[in-house]
Amino acid sequence: MQVQFLEERERLVARPRGRMEADDGAALASAIEGRLHAGTKAVTVDLGELEFVSLGGIRAILRLARSLKGERRELVFARDSDAVREPLHQAGMDHFFQFSPPYHPHRGTSA
């Protein structure tokens, strides 16, 4: 899995690509936490380019979500796909992962 990061003002955007296994999910969460600074108020994880997400990857994202919530930072998910939607449904987590439109720097969100 590869991840592209974008930082704009108070928001950090992470765009993972490829397959997210359990170790990849933990690495993504760690990389996101390592890029946070005092001014980061929101994190957007754009899942639109993932080809596969394991249940371990989902668990890692849930741990990240708890950590961010404890720090009073917003976590937003952008762009789902069949590769993401199906494992979330199987895990009974569709209600937790609320997807917003993709985040575009300098323009905010759009459809």
**Alpha carbon distance 96, 8 (integer Å):** 25
For residue 52, which of 27, 84, 100 has the smallest C-alpha distance?
A: 84
User: At 73, phi and psi to the nearest 5?
Assistant: -110, 145
Percentage of the chain with pLDDT > 70? Answer: 86
pLDDT band at 97 (very low <50, low <70, confident <90, very high): low
- What lies within 8 Å, CB to CB, of 109 at 6+ separation is 78, 100, 101, 102, 103
pLDDT reported for residue 82:
77
pLDDT exceeds 50 at position 110: no
**According to DSSP H, which parts of the chain are helical?**
22-35, 55-70, 82-90
